[in-house]
């Protein structure tokens, strides 16, 4: 190969690698289907954020709930949240606490009028470095998911 071809190949490699790590590509949660039909949705919590739920997740620091409340008040209008859309069915939300120095939880619940009639799941006990499962059978509707202990914004989940 001559020097020009090497430079062109290197430039193409840089462009391809840059595209592979673009924030939007990192935002989607990993979903795996088990043989029994249950789908596992992998989510990661860092201070004040579900990483997969934001188009450009920021690395905030927080040592207590009140700090995330202040961060969310200041940044909510500047952040782009991704809507998670799933078909009805059985799910396990597998949530990991990555570097949040206090106990977290997870909460899925219906939005608006359907809030009372739509399924809900919640729980705590998610200490630093721990991964925990939250199982739910989702029916068609509009939901929120969040962590009131972190706290995070209310992210939208649509089941259709």
Q: Tell me if 89 is assigned to some domain.
A: yes
pTM of the model: 0.81
Q: Tell me if 56 is assigned to some domain.
A: yes
Q: The domain that contains 43 carries what CATH number?
A: 2.60.40.420
Q: Which of 22-26, 51-55, 69-73 has the lowest mean pLDDT?
A: 22-26
Q: Tell me if 2 is assigned to some domain.
A: no
Q: Tell me: the pLDDT tens digits for 63-114?
A: 999 999 999 999 989 999 999 999 999 999 999 999 999 999 999 999 987 6
Q: Tell me if 10 is assigned to some domain.
A: no
Cβ atoms of residues 49 and 75 within 8 Å: no
Q: Tell me if 144 is assigned to some domain.
A: yes
Q: Which domain holds residue 114?
A: 23-159
Q: What is the enclosing helix (H) or strand (E) of 11?
A: helix 3-20
Cβ atoms of residues 144 and 155 within 8 Å: yes
Q: Tell me if 3 is assigned to some domain.
A: no
Q: Tell me if 129 is assigned to some domain.
A: yes
Number of domains composing the chain = 1
Rounded Cα distance between 5 and 76, Å, is: 47
Q: Tell me if 146 is assigned to some domain.
A: yes
Map residue 99 onto helix, strand or coil: coil
Q: Name the CA radius of gyration of the chain, rounded.
A: 19
């Amino acid at each position: 190969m001559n020097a020009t071809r090497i430079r062109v190949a290197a430039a193409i490699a840089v462009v391809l690698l840059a595209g592979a790590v673009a924030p939007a590509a990192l935002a989607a949660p990993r979903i795996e289907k088990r043989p029994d039909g249950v789908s596992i949705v992998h989510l990661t919590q860092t201070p004040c954020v579900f990483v997969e739920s934001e188009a450009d997740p920021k690395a905030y620091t927080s040592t207590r709930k009140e700090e995330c409340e202040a961060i969310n008040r200041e940044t909510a209008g500047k952040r782009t949240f991704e809507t998670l859309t799933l078909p009805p069915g059985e799910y396990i939300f597998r949530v990991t606490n990555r570097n949040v120095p206090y106990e977290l939880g997870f909460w899925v619940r219906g939005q608006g009028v359907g809030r009372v009639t739509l399924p809900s799941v919640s729980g705590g006990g998610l200490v630093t470095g721990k991964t925990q499962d939250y199982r739910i059978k989702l029916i068609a509707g509009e939901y929120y998911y969040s962590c009131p202990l972190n706290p995070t914004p209310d992210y939208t989940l649509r089941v259709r």
